[in-house]
């Protein structure tokens, strides 16, 4: 106890000594003495607000999250790819060719391109809408009225419709012969709202082509004719016409060229056709079949239809049609076409056995003043050879005939009542009046032979 009291007294004296000294000098506190340091704190009135920065690294931690990293990576990748695509594939501006040439004017300003002169783009590959813009106004509706009188109804008229193609600015229109055949009144209407009375300049039933003429006050939009010899199977094919009725005028359908140079018999006529799967319907006859440049490469003519048949449409190649159209415009008929002047029947082996004849073409009728009559060919003769080539059918005879021109002389072998004869036949030029007389030398089989259905029975004309 005495030791402890001595230590306490010593400390007390030490503190008193320091306090006495503090009256003269500033009191020094130990930094670890909280109680004494608190006593020496700064007053609230003089305190300063000290900014304490937030914890660093939160944004980096946010970016390191897997979902955020995936989103940012995707956005950056898309931006880089789109930038590269935009640089590598610059959009190509195509000048749209239009029907208006330096000799023609547009009747519908809504279809006129507003950028550059579209005439300069003629021949370039177009989109389907551009093809329509280029040619739609050049495809017209043809409405025909014909007499429908009968023994019970007098003065009645029938109305039919088809399509046509304006081929010149002054109003020449190409169409099918079956569209206007037998019509007494023909009216042409354009998509621009124009209506014209039309007259027939010429028609040809063998090729099923006809040319009409209207008298416009202003120049008409006309179509550009292409080259069907350059076509390849699989190329784009666009059909424009007025299917079914006039209210559907200007209808466009799209397909491809399915086949070229199809040799087929349609309504007893041997024809070379283009085949397409572009939808062709009644009323499309005479309308345009177009290529990817908006050029006319065919005149829509026929289709095959049935429950199990789809996509079989046929058009006359424009290269086949051009000379016929030009001849019809110039002369009103196809000039230089050779004519024999008979109506014949195919004599098959079966018919020959039954009727004691030879195989060939039986002469059923001979036209007056024709080449056949002048050569001495008579009814009942059987033509067995033409220009040294064996003849088995009317189709073969017509084919051999068309290899010549009017004025040519060929040797024809006949069988007359079992006797062989050879005559010299000088082909004459076919004229419209002679054409109606000899009726295209159509095949007429005898009644005792059952008639078989042929592929040509599937094809029908579209005129109503």
Tell me, what's the pLDDT at 246? 75
Residue 8 has pLDDT above 80, yes or no: no
Q: Are β-strands 428-429 and 338-339 bridged in parallel, bridged antiparallel, or unpaired?
A: antiparallel
pLDDT digits (tens, 9 = 90+) for 238-289: 999 988 777 788 899 999 999 999 888 787 777 889 999 998 888 889 999 9
Tell me, what's the pLDDT at 151? 55
Q: What is the mean predicted confidence (pLDDT) over 312-320? A: 93
Q: Is the domain defined by 94-335 classed in CATH 1.10.287.110?
A: no
Closest C-alpha to 376, from 447, 424, 445, 437: 424
Asked if residue 394 lies in contact with residue 441, where contact means CB atoms within 8 angstroms, the answer is yes
Task: Please state which CATH number belongs to domain 338-451.
Answer: 2.30.42.10
Instruction: Name the band, by pLDDT with cuts 50, 70 and 90, for residue 440.
Output: very low
Q: What is the mean predicted confidence (pLDDT) over 384-395? A: 93
| Integer Cα distance of 377 and 383 in angstroms | 9
Residue 38 has pLDDT above 70, yes or no: no
Residue 324 φ/ψ, nearest 5 degrees: -65, -45
pLDDT digits (tens, 9 = 90+) for 165-195: 999 999 999 999 999 998 899 999 999 899 9
Tell me, what's the pLDDT at 239? 94
Give domain limits for the chain: 2-44, 94-335, 338-451
Q: What percent of the chain has pLDDT over 90?
A: 49
Residues sharing a CB contact under 8 Å with residue 268, sequence separation 6 or more, in sequence order: 440, 442, 443, 456
| Integer Cα distance of 298 and 230 in angstroms | 12
Lowest mean pLDDT among 4-18, 59-73, 144-158, 448-462: 448-462
Closest C-alpha to 179, from 200, 197, 195, 196: 200
Lowest mean pLDDT among 15-29, 82-96, 439-453: 439-453
| pTM, to two decimals | 0.62
pLDDT digits (tens, 9 = 90+) for 62-81: 666 777 777 877 888 888 87
Extract the tokens encoding 334. 């196809």
Q: What percent of the chain has pLDDT over 70?
A: 69
Higher pLDDT: 259 or 98? It is 259
Higher pLDDT: 119 or 381? It is 381
Lowest mean pLDDT among 1-10, 131-140, 259-268: 1-10
Asked if residue 103 lies in contact with residue 220, where contact means CB atoms within 8 angstroms, the answer is no
Residue 224 has pLDDT above 90, yes or no: yes
Higher pLDDT: 440 or 26? It is 26
Query: Is the alpha carbon torsion for 82, 88, 89, 91 positive or negative?
Result: positive
In the block, tokens 């078989």 appear at 452
Q: What is the dihedral of CA 358, 359, 363, 364, to 10 degrees?
A: 90
Beta bridge partners of 313: 276, 303
Lowest mean pLDDT among 98-107, 231-240, 260-269, 308-317: 98-107
Tell me, what's the pLDDT at 41? 55
Q: What is the mean pLDDT of the chain?
A: 77
pLDDT digits (tens, 9 = 90+) for 412-434: 999 999 999 999 999 999 887 64
Give the catalytic positions in this structure. 178, 208, 285
Tell me, what's the pLDDT at 175? 96
Q: What is the mean predicted confidence (pLDDT) over 131-136? A: 94
Higher pLDDT: 436 or 157? It is 157
């Amino acid at each position: 106890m005495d030791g402890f009291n001595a230590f306490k007294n010593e400390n007390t004296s030490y503190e008193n000594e320091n306090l006495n000294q503090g009256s003269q000098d500033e009191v020094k506190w130990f930094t670890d003495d909280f109680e004494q340091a608190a006593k020496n704190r700064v007053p609230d009135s003089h305190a300063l607000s000290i900014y304490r920065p937030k914890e660093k690294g939160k944004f980096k931690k946010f970016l390191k999250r897997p979902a955020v990293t995936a989103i940012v990576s995707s956005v950056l990748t898309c931006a880089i790819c789109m930038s590269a695509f935009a640089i590598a594939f610059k959009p190509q501006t195509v000048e749209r060719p239009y029907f208006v040439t330096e000799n023609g004017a547009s009747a519908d300003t809504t279809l006129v391109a507003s950028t550059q002169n579209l005439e300069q783009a003629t021949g370039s590959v177009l989109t389907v809408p551009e093809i329509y813009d280029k040619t739609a106004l050049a495809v017209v509706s043809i409405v025909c009225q014909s007499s429908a009188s009968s023994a019970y109804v007098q003065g009645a008229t029938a109305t039919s419709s088809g399509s046509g193609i304006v081929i010149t600015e002054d109003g020449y229109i190409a169409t099918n012969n079956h569209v206007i055949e037998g019509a007494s009144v023909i009216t042409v209407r354009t998509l621009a709202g124009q209506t014209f009375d039309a007259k027939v300049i010429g028609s040809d039933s063998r090729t099923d082509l006809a040319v009409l003429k209207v008298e416009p006050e202003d120049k008409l939009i006309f179509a550009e004719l292409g080259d069907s010899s350059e076509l390849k199977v699989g190329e784009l094919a666009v059909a424009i016409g007025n299917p079914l009725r006039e209210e559907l005028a200007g209808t466009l359908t799209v397909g491809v060229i399915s086949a070229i140079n199809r040799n087929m018999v349609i309504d007893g006529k041997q024809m070379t056709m283009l085949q397409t799967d572009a939808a062709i319907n009644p009323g499309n006859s005479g309308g345009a079949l177009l290529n990817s440049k908006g050029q006319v490469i065919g005149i829509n003519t026929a289709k095959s239809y049935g429950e199990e048949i789809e996509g079989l449409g046929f058009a006359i190649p424009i290269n086949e049609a051009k000379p016929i159209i030009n001849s019809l415009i110039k002369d009103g008929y196809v000039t230089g076409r050779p004519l024999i002047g008979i109506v014949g029947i195919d004599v098959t082996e079966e018919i020959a056995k039954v009727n004691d004849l030879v195989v060939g073409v039986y002469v059923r009728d001979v036209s007056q003043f024709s080449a056949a009559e002048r050569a001495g060919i008579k009814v009942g003769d059987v033509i067995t050879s033409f220009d040294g080539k064996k003849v088995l059918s009317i189709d073969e005879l017509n084919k051999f005939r068309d290899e010549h021109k009017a004025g040519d002389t060929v040797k024809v072998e006949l069988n007359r009542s079992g006797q062989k004869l050879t005559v010299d036949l000088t082909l004459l030029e076919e004229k419209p009046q002679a054409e109606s007389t000899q009726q295209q030398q159509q095949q007429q089989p005898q009644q005792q032979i059952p008639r078989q259905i042929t592929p040509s029975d599937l094809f029908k004309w579209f005129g109503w």
